[in-house]
Each structure stands twice: as C-alpha cells, then as structure tokens.
Amino acid sequence: MGSFDKEINRRRTFAIISHPDAGKTTLTEKFLLYGGAINLAGSVKGKATARHAVSDWMEIEKERGISVTSSVLQFEYDGYCINILDTPGHQDFSEDTYRTLMAADSAGMVIDASKGVEAQTRKLFKVCAMRGIPIFTFINKLDRDANDTFELLDEVEAELGIATCPINWPIGSGKGFKGVYDRKSESIITYSDTQKGTKEGETKIISINDREAMEAEIGAAAEEKLLEEIELLDGASSEFDLEMVRAGQLTPVFFGSALTNFGVEIFLKHFLEMTTTPLARNTAEGIVEATSDDFSAFVFKIQANMNKAHRDRIAFMRICSGKFDADKEVKHVQGNKVMRLSQPQQIMADERKILSEAYAGDIIGVFDPGIFSIGDTVCSPKMKICYEGIPTFAPEHFAKVRQVDTMKRKQFIKGISQIAQEGAIQIFQELNTGMEEIIVGVVGVLQFDVLKYRLENEYNVEIRLEPLPYEYIRWVENKDIDMTKLTGTSDMKKVTDLKGRPLLLFINSWSIQMTIDRNSGLELSEFARN
C-alpha cells in the first residue's frame, strides 16, 4: 500500500451522540488523553473562562458561556488518525448538529446507565440510522447506581430499533461496581476508582475460570450474579456480526465510567478496529471511493461571523476522496468556478491552524466569501461529480417574525433570507401569501436568539418573535399535488419553504396520521432531500 492509501486508511471520522449530561464531553476528554493530545482532562469544552480567552466567536457565545458551533478534534492514537466531530448538545442543539452527522462515518452513542435512552439520543440516532452508519454504544456512569443491564439493552433495541451485542458486561454498579466482564477473553477486568484522575486506575484481569481469584476480588455475591447473567446473556443476545455492525443494524455495547476513566480505552480500541475507514460516498454520477486519486469534498456547515471584526464566514467541508493540497485549484461545482480555497484551516476546539494538506476523512474549514451553500461539492477540476445534498431536517420550534420598524422591510427580508440561506434557520411562508407573513422554524430554540442578535447587529433590524404552537413539520413528497385541495385537521397549517416546496405544520402528532388518512396517496417526510 502506498503512503497515500495508508494515510486515508488510518483515518477514522466519527461523531459522539448523546443526550446532554450523559458524559459525551468527559468521554471525549479521555479519548484525547489517550491520544496524548492534551495532558490534562478538562480542556475540551473547558470551563467558560478558559474557552473565552481564545475564542473570538459570536458575542452570544461569550454571554451564554456555550458554544454556538461544533468543532472538530483531530488526534493520533495507536497509528490511527482520529477526527471527532463534536455535536453540540445542550441549549445549542441545532440543525448543525444533524448536519455534522452527515460528515461522520460512524457514531459513538453515550447513554447514562441510570437514564437509558433519552430524547436527544433518539433524535440523533434517527439521523445515523437514516444513513446506515455503524453505531457503537458506551453505557456510562456505572460508578453510580445503574438500571438493570438487560433492561438497558432491551430499551436500546425497542426504542431505537437496533440489535445490541454486548462486548463486555458490567459487574454491579454504584458503590458495588466491580468492573466488567470481557466476553471474548472470558475474563473480568476489575475496577478501581481513580477519583476523577486522569490516569487509569489499577486494574486486574482475572479469568472467570479462576473462581478463587475472582471471588477474592469481587466477592461471592457479585460472582454468583455475574455467572448467572453470563449464562442468560449467551442464550439471549445477538451474535457479533461485523457486517451487521458496519451496516448499522447491530450496535456493539460497552460499559464503563468516563469520569473515573474505566472502560474508555477498551471502548476506543474496539471502536477503532470495528469501524470503517473513510466511507465511499454517493454522487449523482456513481460512487466515489475515499482512496480515489482525485480530491473531492462537500460542505456540511457554514459558520458566519467567527471573527466579528471581519464578518467572516467559514465553510466546513468533509473531504470524501483524495488529498487536499492548498496549492492546487479546485472546482466549486454549484458555482461552476475553478478557484483556490483560501486560508484552509483545521479548526480545533480552541485554535485554528493553517493546513497545507489533508486527506479523505478529514474536515477542513475554509474562508467563504459568501459563495458556498450547505451541501455544495468542491472537487478536482477534472472530476465531474456532485455529492448528494444534505437533507433539510425538521425544525421543532416555530415563531412568527415581524420587524419592529416597518420602514426597514428591505433590510429585514435581505437579512432573514441570507441567514436562512446559510442554514442557521429555516423560513416558511403561508401558502400563496408571498413574504407577507414569515414563519421561522428552528431545531434548537437558541437559534431564535441567534437570529435576533444577528439581524440587529449585522442588518440593523429589530424584530419581534411570536411563538407558534406547532411542533411537527412534514414535507409533502407528492410532486403534482394541489395543496389547496388537501384537507387536514383544524390545527394544520399549509406553508412553503425557501425553495417553494410545500409543507404542513401540525401541533399534534396524531393530526399527521389523520391527514394521511384523509388524503389518499399523500406522502409526508421528516427530511427534505435537497
């Protein structure tokens, strides 16, 4: 294998999905620790002050002490070059979080052992499942009292519709947490609390056939329970099948405690071995392999105003094939222009560094003079391809928006349209009313504040947002539909999006089914393929 192929094949690009507080940041910190990227855990997201010292991103970010963007972390571990895409999870949950998943080749799913599957995990999982990427589960916080292990696995299967295959198995939880049983080697790995330390605790590995040593270590009661569970487990769980894992139909499950750094390296090692090298991607002209000689990438996120003084925009691209070379010209397919990407950079948690080269699997951020849109393809000028666009994801919060000063209509329309174009918000109009009444839809409520802030600061337009009760949105898939004839429930609203596609807004989920029942042949979708 040449060095070019080697570089690509050692890359692993994934996102970590979870509900807030399940431990995603803590787990990421521990990953970085193994990679030697940081010396002390605690510096990924950092505490508000540490981050602000280096970040010149939006004011709003500083005011709230949260990050509006997601960042990319790259580090080396065991010969692998790892790219972790950070998916914002707290109040800053937005459509970008979903889009980031389009750039990942696999996902790590963190679940809090005392909470099970939570709302945000469910939403993010859906997007991964839509793409059929491999998903690896880390059940976290075993150092605290956890739910029954069988119940946790049943919940993952029932709620998410994916088969589970535990790679290891917890021995007790909370104060009684003794470690994990590794099914393949039939041995136990004992737990020792490192008291939030950065190093792994002292662990012992004992074969389960050495009953005496095992009992001495974990006690007779825990031993008996474990042996019982192993027997049940071997009879009940799905067989490990790498093909199914890679197709996203089976999730390998690991147990541990990110905080005390137990089970993290085991998870990371297996994850890296089982997951894929950068995936081949679909284009309208066929599949492009990551190791293709020619460079290609697609834009999955646009971040405006990372530097207030310059009002710059950064377009984040996922490299899908070949090698990016800063000196070479590329073609922006949608703009039909050959150009050089300016200031290509890698954006780490809190620093940017200028890159001269990068490979398939990597993420680069480039200065965007306002030409890129989400989903755009950039490739070597000799290639004739266009990547499948990024779907538009269903917003969950809606508001009617009005400008306070009616004289500023022009700036208002310009501003709100540009911000929608960037993909920070979605705008809708009531059917057949033009821009008279604008409805804004967002995935995370913080985007409302971002919109208000940006309209005031960049376009000098003050707005009022009036919340609307809709929670569900469905794109109408039928091509030749007469929307005026469509009958629904009284809570339903007919609108169109920026691209003129018809949609329906609902307050209740049952209204959706009712509307489908009332209009034979009606096809509704939660994602809009671009």
Does residue 118 belong to the site contacting ligand G4P (CB under 6 A)? no
**What does each C-alpha distance from 489 to 258, 377, 493, 509 come to in angstroms?**
47, 40, 9, 11
Q: Which helix (H) or strand (E) holds 140?
A: strand 135-140
> Min. distance of Cβ 349 from ligand G4P in angstroms?
13
Report the C-alpha gap between 514 and 511 in whole angstroms.
5
> Min. distance of Cβ 24 from ligand G4P in angstroms?
3
Does residue 51 belong to the site contacting ligand G4P (CB under 6 A)? no
User: In the set 11, 24, 301, 493, which binds ligand G4P (CB under 6 A)?
Assistant: 24
Among the residue ranges 20-28, 266-274, 361-369, 385-393, the one whose residues contact ligand G4P (CB under 6 A): 20-28
Which one-letter amino acid corresponds to residue 527?
A: F
C-beta of 124 vs 333, nearer to ligand G4P: 124
> Min. distance of Cβ 305 from ligand G4P in angstroms?
25
> Min. distance of Cβ 21 from ligand G4P in angstroms?
4
User: In the set 86, 92, 96, 143, which binds ligand G4P (CB under 6 A)?
Assistant: 143
**Tokens standing for residue 45:** 């997201």
Does residue 190 belong to the site contacting ligand G4P (CB under 6 A)? no
Among the residue ranges 13-21, 311-319, 408-416, 434-442, the one whose residues contact ligand G4P (CB under 6 A): 13-21
Report helix, strand or coil for 212: helix
Does residue 141 belong to the site contacting ligand G4P (CB under 6 A)? yes
Residues in region 56-95 near ligand G4P by CB under 6 A: 89
Does residue 11 belong to the site contacting ligand G4P (CB under 6 A)? no
C-beta of 200 vs 430, nearer to ligand G4P: 200
Pairing of strands 502-506, 472-476: antiparallel
C-beta of 25 vs 373, nearer to ligand G4P: 25
Does residue 370 belong to the site contacting ligand G4P (CB under 6 A)? no
Among the residue ranges 136-144, 213-221, 299-307, 322-330, the one whose residues contact ligand G4P (CB under 6 A): 136-144
Cβ neighbours for 41, distance < 8 A, ≥ 6 positions apart: 26, 29, 30, 32, 33, 198, 261
Does residue 26 belong to the site contacting ligand G4P (CB under 6 A)? yes
Q: How many DSSP H helices and E strands does the chain contain?
A: 14, 33
User: In the set 22, 41, 135, 522, which binds ligand G4P (CB under 6 A)?
Assistant: 22
> What character string, x for contact with ligand G4P (CB under 6 A) and - otherwise, covers 233-262?
------------------------xxx---
Residue linked to tokens 């950064």: 314
Does residue 44 belong to the site contacting ligand G4P (CB under 6 A)? no
Does residue 18 belong to the site contacting ligand G4P (CB under 6 A)? yes
Q: Identify whether the C-beta of residue 124 lies closer than 8 Å to the C-beta of residue 237.
A: no
Q: Identify whether the C-beta of residue 5 lies closer than 8 Å to the C-beta of residue 73.
A: no
Report the C-alpha gap between 496 and 475 in whole angstroms.
9
C-beta of 109 vs 463, nearer to ligand G4P: 109
For 471-490, what is the HEC assignment? CEEEEECCCCCCHHHCCCCC
Which one-letter amino acid corresponds to residue 420?
A: A
Residues in region 89-108 near ligand G4P by CB under 6 A: 89
- How far from the centroid of its chain's Cα atoms is residue 318's Cα? 13
Q: Which helix (H) or strand (E) holds 31?
A: helix 24-35
Residue 334 DSSP symbol? T
> Min. distance of Cβ 151 from ligand G4P in angstroms?
19
Query: Site size for ligand G4P, by CB under 6 A?
Result: 16
Among the residue ranges 16-24, 130-138, 357-365, 518-526, the one whose residues contact ligand G4P (CB under 6 A): 16-24
Q: Identify whether the C-beta of residue 263 lies closer than 8 Å to the C-beta of residue 255.
A: yes
Q: Identify whether the C-beta of residue 214 lies closer than 8 Å to the C-beta of residue 206.
A: yes
CB count within 10 Å of CB 411 equals 16
Q: What angle do CA 55, 32, 90 make, to 5 degrees?
A: 55
> Min. distance of Cβ 18 from ligand G4P in angstroms?
5
C-beta of 259 vs 455, nearer to ligand G4P: 259
> Min. distance of Cβ 261 from ligand G4P in angstroms?
9
> Min. distance of Cβ 156 from ligand G4P in angstroms?
17
C-beta of 139 vs 218, nearer to ligand G4P: 139
**What does each C-alpha distance from 523 to 251, 387, 398, 505 come to in angstroms?**
31, 25, 22, 14
Among the residue ranges 7-15, 18-26, 422-430, 431-439, the one whose residues contact ligand G4P (CB under 6 A): 18-26
DSSP letters for 250-294:
EEEEEE-BTTTTBSHHHHHHHHHHHSPSSPPEEETTEEE-TT-SS
Binding footprint of ligand G4P on the chain (CB under 6 A):
18, 20-26, 89, 140-141, 143-144, 257-259
